[in-house]
Structures are given as C-alpha cells and as structure tokens.
C-alpha cells in the first residue's frame, strides 16, 4: 500500500478559498453580529444568505453528507482538511451548514428517515429554517444507553414519552429534539406540551419529558433501533469534533508563538528561554501527532466504515481532549495574565478542554473500549515466560542453527565465542 501525505491540487484551491473566505467574511460578521446564522432579523439574514450563496456556488454546502444522502460526498479525509479551517472560526461550521448538533441529526434523518420525514424536517434543516438538538444523556446514566430510563409508550396513534435528559446542547433554542428512548429514536418539537426545559444549565440543557405526546410517524428508524442510529450519529460526530479541535489547537499554537517573539523577560525575548521553547516544541509535536492520527482515522472510515474504525475513533476522541488541554494551557501560560482574561480565545479553549473529555462519552469509557478492542487481537503466552523472554528465544535460535553448526564446526566455534562474550558481560 502506498503512503500519500499530499492534498489534491484542485481541492487545495478549495481549502485556500475557504481560509480566505472565513478570515475576510465570516469572522468579521461574527464580531459585528454574533450568532448571525440563527438571527431572524431580515437584514442580518440577508447578510448571511449572501455569504451562504457563495458557499453553495463553490459546492461546499452541507459538506458532511455523502452523495447518497444528498451532500457533496467529499468523504471524511477531505472533510477533515476542511474542518481544520472551519474549526478556527466560531460561526464558520454553521455558516457552511455543517455545525453540530445539526450535522449528526441530519445524517440520521438522511439515512433512516422516510420521504415524508425528510420533507418535513431534513429539507428545512438543510436550509437552516429549522434547528435541532440531540437529547441522549441522562442524569443517572450519563451516556451509557444500558442505563437509560426514558421510554416511549404507544397509546393509539401516539407515542407518550416519559423521562429525563441531561446536557441536551442547544435544546433551549432548538425547534426539534431528537430524543433517544430505550425503545427508539423520536423527533419531538420543542414546544410540545410536557417538554420541560429547566432553567439551568443555560447552554447544555436539562430537560424533563413529562407525558410528551407525539404522532406515531415521529419515530425515526425502526422501533428499538435507537442504539444503531446513535452509533452512526456519534461515530461521525466524534471524528468531526476531532477535526475542528485541530484547528483550535493550531490557533492556540499560533498565538503562543507570536507571543513568544513579542515579549521580553530578563533581557531577552521569552522565546529564547528554554522553558518557553519546551512548551512550543511539545505543543508542535502533540498537534502534528494528533493531526496525523485524525487524518489516518478519517482515511480508514472512507475505506471501510465507522463501525470498523470504532477503535481509532474512540482513541482520537480522548486524544483530542488531552492535546487541546495541554496546548491551550501552554498558550495561556506563555500569554501570561492576558491569557487568563476573555480578551483572547485562549481562556475559552482551556475551559472547553474538560468538556471535550466528557461530551459524547467520557474519555475513560473510550479508553476502556480501545483497550478491550486492542486486546482482542492478542493471546496469552504459554507457561511462565512471555514471548520475548530472551533465554527461551536464544535457546530456540540455537536449535534452529544446530543443523548448520553440525555441517560447519568453524561457524559453531564462532557462535560459542559470542555466547561466552555475552555471558561474561553479565
């Protein structure tokens, strides 16, 4: 198998355009009109539409969807390269119609929805006329579906949902909620009676579903199929988070290096102090390793599936949180007091790192998954000694060479000489 680390020249032109577009158009709009993509003001919507028309003209709208699901079909590797750019700019993923949690929800709808469900929910979501949230985690069960209690009971031509969900990101501002029950995945309009959104937390919402009634056709996919849908959704979601995390790490690294050349301490720029150089060097290596790991995992998904790549996806998930935590801390430290304020993105990055280690399943769960999957390809050794036990390997090697030694006494004498030499060294 050939190794290839270059980007197709034509696609690189797209990446260059995206970088310039985000820097010159998306970021300024974000600073003047925060959350412009979700604004209902017609003047702001017109500004957003003008930018999104350019994105669509470049064939970069809803880039996360495969061709068979109505998207451009770039695949995960190219998507990773794009997200390295988009992830640097706060509103860029939403501007390109590729922001979580809508991406995963749209993918589920595209893959499992009926034609009627796609017309009702998917098309408006793609047009950003409808926004969604993913309601999975529960207070007592975390993200372990085996511990979930939220359940839907069929009552005539309706489903009645009862349960409690925790950390439903953007639930308060969503139009529809994708609710994972023990017996299915259901689409629930947020304004449905019985949907009780608690006042706290403000961003990642705590929601109680109290006798919530939805029509039968609000079941997405098969009954009892929630776990299958969730795995498809979360597998892609985790790798996408990792792709955007690389962009955040690069942003922190750029700020770190710029600062190292701009400030003086003890008579020289701080970039000449070895402790600062160590942080820069460690951060550089960590980002490079994470990036290669993410792109290789994306390549594997393109050539197999998220299911077959699940071990690497899980490993990428906890690795990205670790690298973001380390790099953002290094950047914060080098920026000094400025890094502790909200005048740069650094503090928010460092604060977000622990969340990245919890969202979509805590890191410890993913580490256990990786370890279990890795150990499946190994077997215990026989007897007391491991496979690499040197005395046993040396004895086996002598047995292999014995016929040669029998035919060539001079060669045997040489081997005996080496044996005595190494024996005396001990």
- Residues 100-157 pLDDT 10s: 889 889 989 988 999 999 999 999 999 999 999 999 999 998 888 889 999 999 999 9
Split at pLDDT 50, 70, 90, the class of 60 is very high
* Number of Cβ within a 10 Å radius of residue 57: 9
pTM beyond cutoff 0.85 = yes
Rama region for 282: left / alpha / beta (φ>0; ψ in -120 to 50; rest): alpha
Q: Which residues contact residue 10 at a Cβ distance below 8 angstroms, ignoring those fewer than 6 apart?
A: none
CA–CA gap between residue 289 and residue 323 (Å, rounded)? 10
Topology (CATH) of 132-220:
Butyryl-CoA Dehydrogenase, subunit A; domain 2 (2.40.110)
pLDDT digits (tens, 9 = 90+) for 11-32: 999 999 999 999 999 999 999 9
Split at pLDDT 50, 70, 90, the class of 4 is confident
Q: Please, what is the average pLDDT of the chain?
A: 93
Query: Considering only the top CATH level, what class is 9-113?
Result: mainly alpha
The more confident residue out of 212 and 424 is 212
Topology (CATH) of 227-375:
Butyryl-CoA Dehydrogenase, subunit A; domain 3 (1.20.140)
CA–CA gap between residue 19 and residue 166 (Å, rounded)? 36
Label residues 269-302 b or e (16+ Cβ within 10 Å = b).
Answer: ebbeeeebeebbeebeebbeebbebbbebbbbbb
SS3 assignment, position 147: helix
pLDDT digits (tens, 9 = 90+) for 344-403: 999 999 999 988 888 777 899 889 999 999 999 999 999 999 999 999 999 999 999 999
Q: State the pLDDT at residue 402.
A: 96
Where in the chain is CATH 1.20.140.10?
227-375
Where in the chain is CATH 2.40.110.10?
132-220
Q: Are 270 and 276 in contact (CB under 8 A)?
A: yes
Is it the case that residue 222 has pLDDT exceeding 60? Answer: yes
Is it the case that residue 1 has pLDDT exceeding 60? Answer: no
Split at pLDDT 50, 70, 90, the class of 238 is confident
Residue 363 per-residue DSSP state: H
Q: State the pLDDT at residue 262.
A: 97
Percent of the chain with pLDDT over 90: 82
Q: Which residues contact residue 117 at a Cβ distance below 8 angstroms, ignoring those fewer than 6 apart?
A: 109, 187, 217, 220
Q: What integer is the mean pLDDT of 91-100? A: 92
Where in the chain is CATH 1.10.540.10?
9-113
pLDDT digits (tens, 9 = 90+) for 251-304: 999 999 999 999 999 999 999 999 999 999 999 999 999 999 999 999 999 999
DSSP β-bridge partners for residue 155: 158
Q: Are 183 and 151 in contact (CB under 8 A)?
A: yes
């Amino acid at each position: 198998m050939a190794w290839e680390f270059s980007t197709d020249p034509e696609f690189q032109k797209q990446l260059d355009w995206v970088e310039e577009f985000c820097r010159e158009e998306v970021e300024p709009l974000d600073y003047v009109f925060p959350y412009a993509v979700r604004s209902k003001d017609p003047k702001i919507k017109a500004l957003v539409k003008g930018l999104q028309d350019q994105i669509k003209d470049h064939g970069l709208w809803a880039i996360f969807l495969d061709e068979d699901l109505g998207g451009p079909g770039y695949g995960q590797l190219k998507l990773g390269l794009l997200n390295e750019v988009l992830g640097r700019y706060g509103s860029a993923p939403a501007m390109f119609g590729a922001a979580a949690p809508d991406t995963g929800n749209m993918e589920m709808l595209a893959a499992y929805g009926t034609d009627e469900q796609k017309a009702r929910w998917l098309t408006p979501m793609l047009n950003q006329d409808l926004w969604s949230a993913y309601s999975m985690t529960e207070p007592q069960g975390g993200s372990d579906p085996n511990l979930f209690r939220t359940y839907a009971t069929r009552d005539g031509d309706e489903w009645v949902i009862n349960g409690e969900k925790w950390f439903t990101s953007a639930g308060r501002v969503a139009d529809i909620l994708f609710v994972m029950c023990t017996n299915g995945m259901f689409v629930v309009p947020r304004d449905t009676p019985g949907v009780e959104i608690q006042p706290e937390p403000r961003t990642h919402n705590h929601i109680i579903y109290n006798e919530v009634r939805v029509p039968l056709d609000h079941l997405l996919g098969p009954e009892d199929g929630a776990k299958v849908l969730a795995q498809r959704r979360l597998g892609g979601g985790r790798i996408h988070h990792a792709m955007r995390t690389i962009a955040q790490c690069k942003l922190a690294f750029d700020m770190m290096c710029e600062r190292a050349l701009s400030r003086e301490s003890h008579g020289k720029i701080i970039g000449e102090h070895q402790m600062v150089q160590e942080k820069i060097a460690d951060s550089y290596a960590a980002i490079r390793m994470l990036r290669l790991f993410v792109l290789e995992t994306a390549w594997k998904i393109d050539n197999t599936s998220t299911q077959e790549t699940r071990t690497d996806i899980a490993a990428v998930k906890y690795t990205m949180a670790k690298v973001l935590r380390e790099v953002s801390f290094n950047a914060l430290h080098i920026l000094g007091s400025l890094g502790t304020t909200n005048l740069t993105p650094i503090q928010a990055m460092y604060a977000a790192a622990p969340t990245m280690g919890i969202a979509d399943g805590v890191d410890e769960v993913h580490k256990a998954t990786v370890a279990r999957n890795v150990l499946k390809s190994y077997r215990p050794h026989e007897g007391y000694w491991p496979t690499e036990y040197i005395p046993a390997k040396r004895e086996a090697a002598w047995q292999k060479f014995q016929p040669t030694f029998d035919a060539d006494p001079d060669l045997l004498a040489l081997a005996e000489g080496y044996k005595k030499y190494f024996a005396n060294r001990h």
